[in-house]
Chains A and B, each alone.
Chain A
Amino acid sequence: MAKQEIDDRFKKFGTVSFTSISKVNDFIGYLEKGQVMGTKCKKCGMTFFPPRADCSGCLSSDMDWMEVTGEGTLLTFSKLQYGPVGFEGELPYTIALAQFKDVKVFGRMSKELSDADVVVGMKVKALPVQLANGKISYEFQKA
């Protein structure tokens, strides 16, 4: 019997990842192709970000991938002066939450934005970003 490959792509997500195996590992594959994806339930139409393999609305596991596109609105943000283990080299950085058409997305603001650029209500887009050591994430940039 052939040895089964373990799909542990999720360990690539973010600066420090605590998860390696998830049924939504394709999220990483899509990030690598330049897309930030959520999921949509084929049965009842509920939309999810972060993506889920299973629908809490109708209990179906038949999901479609759905790209987070267009402009979002920044709902809130915070600039951190202290971080957990593994993030020391990135400080300070700004975490944020944005409202897109169907979903809300939690993430980080692009380091290229100055403090004055970042205000509640600003328009943002969510784009993949390559990190050190082959890791990958997404960030908000000014739309």
Chain B
Amino acid sequence: MARVAIIGVGQSKFVRGYPGSIRELAFEAFREAVQDAKMTSKDIDASIICSAPEYDKQRSPAGVIAEYLGLTPQPTFYLETVCSSSSTGLKVAYSMVKAGLHDAICVLGFQKMSEITSAESQERMGRGADIQWESPFGTMMPAYYALHARAHMAKYGTTEEDLALIRVKAATYGQINDRAVYQKPVTLEMFKNPQDNMAGPVASPLRVGDCCANADGSSCIIVASEEKAKVFSEKPVWILGVGAASTAVNMAGRDLFSGLTVAVEASKTAYKMAGISSRDVDVAEVHDCFTIAEMMAYENLGFAKPGEGKDLIRAKETYKEGSIPVNVDGGLLSKGHPIGATGGSQLRTIVLQLRGEAGQMQVSNPEIGLVHNIGGVGLYGNVTILGRD
């Protein structure tokens, strides 16, 4: 069976308040990815545009963006699974190439969260989950992840300090990632000082330092058939496994609170398809929208047994030099989380790692990388496994 490759990756710098329109933001990631693939717009025969529509003023952004990128008259469409939109885009692109419909597809993720006012944003946040049964209680994203954090602490004895350690690790690498919105150091002492912003309460037990920041940004991944990859790319990165899952939006409809079932399900599918186990993963990008999300990812992906994620971070095993480096680009906690662009940014990091082009963030000679990208509060989950020749 012919394989499917990623032959180009791009990402804008993630910033607060991008000084341009959404099409201009999209262009930044697109140009980098297409140049990386040594292609032109004419070599790409379809595009998938990914974002979370509640932040867009433009209705149906796909057509507008495709035209700006020079991707007409090729087909384009819009796709969303909130925060996991662009890794869902990758899965759909993989399927379309595999089916023989197209042989080079651009997956463009973007979000200009500053497109709407902060009051509008506050209003939308209230509608982030089940609007019929949960929003009337005044729920927010951090509070949902806080429910998971509390459950994890009650079941396994995980502490607030364990979660802070994840932020300290993220900041270690955020400082060396020039695309990150937050590049300052973060120390454990900051979490221990009640006067420090990092220690400020948000939704117990989560604090300011446990939460990622909003940002504007774009990402772009060029997916190609094996035949086309061999023409254009010297270092194709192969898509070995794509797993995806969903669950009840309402917390009352779920059974697991110390983890995310979508990550367990999606990783099972992806590992099986790739013919590997968690032990074979050399470097991973996980969806750390909150520190607890990374802790649960360690366990849901099989890097640690349930409840033992805290041991992994305490022993620094998820640092660059550790047994399973995780988010050595700073993660969402440092890079920021421009919803529709996030999955593509994670994929880009792993592609650069597998090509040995991650600069200061490079881990030692990885062969297999994994991307864990979650939409909503564990509502959607995508796990993608990539490998090199």
Contacts and interface: CB of A to CB of B under 8 A. Distances in A.
Interface string B123-153: 1011100011111111110110011111100
Contacts of A97: 147, 251-252, 257
B364 interface: no
Interface residues of A, number: 37
B138 A93 contact: yes
B250 interface: yes
A33 to B, nearest CB: 19
Interface stretch (A1-9, A11-19, A57-65): A11-19
A18 B131 CA distance: 6
A77 B252 CA distance: 13
Interface in B134-185: 134-140, 142-143, 146-151, 154
A69 interface: no
A90 B257 CA distance: 26
B201 interface: yes
B250 A82 contact: no
B136 A15 contact: yes
Interface in A29-84: 49-50, 75-84
Q: Most chain-A CB neighbours within 10 Å: which of B132, B136, B203, B205?
A: B136
Contacts of A49: 252
A137 B147 CA distance: 20
Nearest to B255: A104
Given A106-B133, A108-B137, A120-B150, A84 B123 contact: yes
A78 B131 contact: no
A134 interface: no
Contacts of A106: 133-134, 137, 250-252
Given A97-B252, A105-B252, A83 B151 contact: no
Interface size class of B (residues with CB under 8 A): 35 or more
A19 B151 CA distance: 30
Contact of A78 (B119, B134, B136, B143): B143
A79 B203 contact: yes
B205 to A, nearest CB: 8
Contacts of B147: 76-78, 95, 97
A11 to B, nearest CB: 10
B125 to A, nearest CB: 5
A47 B126 CA distance: 28
A107 B250 CA distance: 11
A107 B119 CA distance: 25
B74 interface: no
A105 B122 CA distance: 25
A13 B125 CA distance: 18
A50 B151 CA distance: 21
A86 B137 contact: no
B231 to A, nearest CB: 48
Contacts of B202: 80-82
B60 interface: no
B131 A82 contact: no
A103 interface: yes
Given A50-B250, A77-B147, A78-B143, A85 B122 contact: yes
B197 interface: no
Contacts of B203: 78-82
25 contacts: A14-B136, A14-B137, A14-B138, A16-B126, A16-B135, A18-B127, A22-B132, A50-B133, A50-B252, A76-B147, A76-B150, A76-B151, A76-B257, A77-B150, A78-B149, A78-B150, A79-B203, A80-B143, A81-B201, A82-B142, A84-B125, A84-B140, A85-B119, A90-B138, A106-B133
Given A19-B131, A79-B203, A137-B137, 14 more contacts: A10-B132, A18-B127, A18-B131, A18-B136, A50-B132, A76-B150, A76-B151, A78-B205, A83-B138, A84-B122, A84-B126, A97-B257, A103-B252, A107-B137
Interface of A: 10, 13-19, 22, 49-50, 75-87, 90, 93, 95, 97, 103-108, 120-121, 137
CB-CB nearest 10 A-B residue pairs: A14-B136, A84-B126, A78-B146, A87-B138, A120-B154, A18-B131, A76-B151, A104-B252, A50-B133, A79-B204
